[in-house]
Amino acid sequence: MNLTNFKDEIDPLIEAYIQNKINAIPDDIDFAFLKKQFDYIKVFIKDGKRIRPYVTYITYLSFGGKKNKEIINNLVFIEIFHYFCLIHDDIMDNSAKRHGIKTVNSKCGVSEAILLGDYLFSWAWEIILSTKLNAGSKKNVIKIFTEMIDDVFLGQTIDIQSTHKKTVSNNLIFKKTLHKTAGYTFTKPMLIGLVLANNYSKENIKFCESLGKNLGFAFQIQDDLLDITSDFNGNKISLKDVSEGNHTVFSNYVFEKGSAEQKNILRNNFGIENIDNIKVRKVFYDSGAINYGQELMKEYFNNAKAIASSYKYFTNLIDLISSRKS
C-alpha cells in the first residue's frame, strides 16, 4: 500500500470520527456555529498527506504486522493529534493560509482556533484510549505518544523562542529538528508501528531511532529548501520562513558565511511581512547556502536509504519524499 492508497483508507475513518463529533453536538440553534466550525476542521484536514500514520503503518508491515486494514483504525489519533499541532502552530505563527486554504485562526478566529485545537488534542486521547489493543501494547503506545508530545512541544518551544532572536546557533536548529521533525514525524510514529507489530525490541528501536533521525533531518532541510526555491500559485515565491523569522540551516549559512551585503539583505527582510522575494532568494543562491543545504540533505537521504536498504516500504517512501516538489 503506497501513501496515496493509504490516504484513501484512513481519510474516511478520520472524516467519520469528526462527523460523529458533529452529530453529537446538541441539536440546538445556539450550537449551530460549533457544527460549522467542526465542518471546517474536516475541510482543513482534507488535503494532508498522512505521512505520520503511514510511517507507523509501514513500520508495522515491515516488522511482521499482518496486512490488515483494521489496524488503520489505531492510527487515526496520530493524524488528529497532528492537526491539533498545526492549528495551534498557525496561531503562533499568525499564518493566514496553509497549503492554499485558510488556517483555522483565519477562518474561525483566534480564540476559536485555540479551543478547536484543544478539542482535537482531547479527541486524540479519546481515540488512543478506545483502541482495541491488549493492555501491554496500549500502555506502550501511550508511553510513546507522550514522548511524541514532549518532542513536538519541545521543538515548538524552541521555535517560539528562536523567532524572537536575531541569530541562533546551528546547535539550536539541530535540536529543534531533532525533536520536531526527526522525533515527532519519524522516530515516534515508527516506534508505535513496532508496538502494533508486537516487535518492540531494543534492536528494532535502535533501527527506528537511526532511520528517523536521518530521514527527519533530510525532510526538514528539504522543507526549508522548498520554501526558498519553489514557486507556487503561478509565480509567487514562498519564503515564508524568512518573512516569519524562522531560522533554518539556510538562513544560518547566510548569516555566518555570506558577504556583508548578503547578510544585510537577509537581516533587513527577516521577520517582516513584505519581503523583497527576488533579492532574498538570490542571496540564498549566491551565498552558496542552497548548494550547502542540498549537499547536506542528500547526505541524510543517502544515510536513510542505506539504513533502510532491506525494507522496501521504507526505500519506496524515501524515494517518494526525496523527489517531492512541494
- For a second copy, the binding residues (CB under 8 A) are 28, 30-31, 33-34, 88, 91-92, 109, 111-112, 114-115, 117-119, 121-122, 125-126, 129, 142, 146, 149, 153-154, 156-158, 160-161, 169, 171-172, 175
CB within 8 Å of 305: residues ≥ 6 apart: 315, 318
Shortest distance, position 74 Cβ to a second copy, whole Å: 17
Name which of 7 and 52 has its Cβ closer to a second copy: 52
Closest contact distance (angstroms) between CB of 114 and a second copy is: 6
Least distance CB 58 / a second copy (angstroms): 27
Nearer to a second copy, 174 or 285 (CB): 174
Q: How far is CA 269 from CA 242, 280, 310, in A?
A: 7, 8, 45
Taking the complex as a whole, how short is the minimal distance between the CB of residue 310 and a second copy, in angstroms?
34
Nearest residue (CB) to a second copy, 6 versus 119: 119
Shortest Å distance, C-beta 62 to a second copy: 29
Q: Cα dist. 115→16, 85, 109, 118, 236 in Å?
A: 21, 12, 10, 5, 32
For a second copy, the closer CB: 12 or 136: 136
- CB of 181 closer than 8 Å to CB of 47: no
C-alpha of 289 from chain center:
23
Contact by Cβ (8 Å): 222, 252? no
Is there a contact between 254 and 266 (Cβ–Cβ < 8 Å)?
yes
What's the one-letter identity of residue 163?
T
CB of 326 to a second copy, least distance (A): 26
Three-state SS at 323? coil
Q: Which residues contact 9 (CB under 8 A, 6 or more apart)?
A: 1, 69, 72
C-beta closer to a second copy: residue 169 or 201: 169
Smallest gap from Cβ 79 to a second copy, in A, equals 17
Nearer to a second copy, 27 or 28 (CB): 28
Pick between residue 72 and residue 191 the one whose CB is nearest to a second copy: 191
- State whether residue 55 is helix, strand or coil: helix
